[in-house]
Structure 1
């Protein structure tokens, strides 16, 4: 498995990315993330590849002053994490989350924490993030679509 920053050669695979509607409620599709990136350079898209197939996608929001979930200016925000429906239940989600701390340390040396939010009704994601080492410290955010739990991982 390889995780790296999005490159233009990934665009076609991003267009073909599949998520069932019940999962798409909780995240952004890759094309939506790319539109955001074009307007906000701090919203850096990443791709997860296995055997030359795009299996996963996420973005890291790198501007500490724009992170509404924490006062920690050295925190980085994990956004729009997903695994393509055709590659789910193969371990890619947990494996990629376990690689994430090293990627952040290599790419963003000034960061000391990863923050993410997850809707309180998304039990599968909550379980996954806990297995990967993220901790919910009791902080929540009243988001546009309901309560979001704020998870932390120290680096």
Structure 2
């Protein structure tokens, strides 16, 4: 089977070493991939996802979460919460984050047939992330959520 790169794929142990080199200096608005992988080992509904290049580099990381935290952002049971979205510092400003968000709806349709909505929270101070989500077709709703690091705008997208 021929793959088109970059592509989204589920994390597995074959990517462990590559992900250990993921560089993320600013954790102001996101969690580290290493922490998310650790959580996924015990949280059944926690799915780490990687954007992988043809050179098997990992520029972007995110988690799709089936858990109850999504209900802070939506009342829909057929939704997934996007969390821990980050781009390796070495790959900033090269379009990888937008590619990941653009590929995500097809990935979800192909791997989570019972899911029809993606939701996420973004800190009100994180303007670049807000622009990214809007450019990739997410809609900001009027409701907000008070997170540990401040007010979160809620975004959603139908898949």
TM bin, normalised by shorter chain, reads over 0.9
* SS in structure 2 at match of 1:36: helix
> Is the 8 Å Cα contact of residues 29 and 149 (structure 2) preserved in structure 1?
no
Equivalent residue, structure 2, for 1:33:
36
Task: Return the offset for 1:39.
Answer: 1.8
Say yes or no: does 1:128 pair with 2:132: yes
Counterpart selection for 1:46 from 46, 49, 52:
49
Equivalent residue, structure 2, for 1:61:
65
Q: TM-score, normalised by structure 2?
A: 0.92
Task: Return the offset for 1:20.
Answer: 2.2
* Structure 1 residues 35-114: aligned runs within 5 Å: 35-50=38-53, 51-63=55-67, 65-68=68-71, 69-114=73-118
* SS in structure 2 at match of 1:67: helix
Q: Which digits, 9 at most, give the CA deviation of each residue in 1:38-70, with x for residues without a partner?
A: 12010110111112211111000024x442221
* SS in structure 2 at match of 1:102: helix
Task: Return the offset for 1:5.
Answer: 0.3
Compute the RMSD of aligned alpha carbons.
Answer: 1.0
> Is the 8 Å Cα contact of residues 8 and 52 (structure 2) preserved in structure 1?
yes
Counterpart selection for 2:13 from 4, 8, 12:
8
Runs of 4+ aligned residues of structure 1 deviating over 6 Å after TM superposition are: none
Q: TM-score, normalised by structure 1?
A: 0.94
* SS in structure 1 at match of 2:97: helix
Q: Specify every segment of 5 or more residues in structure 2 that has no aligned partner in the other structure, as ranges.
A: 1-5
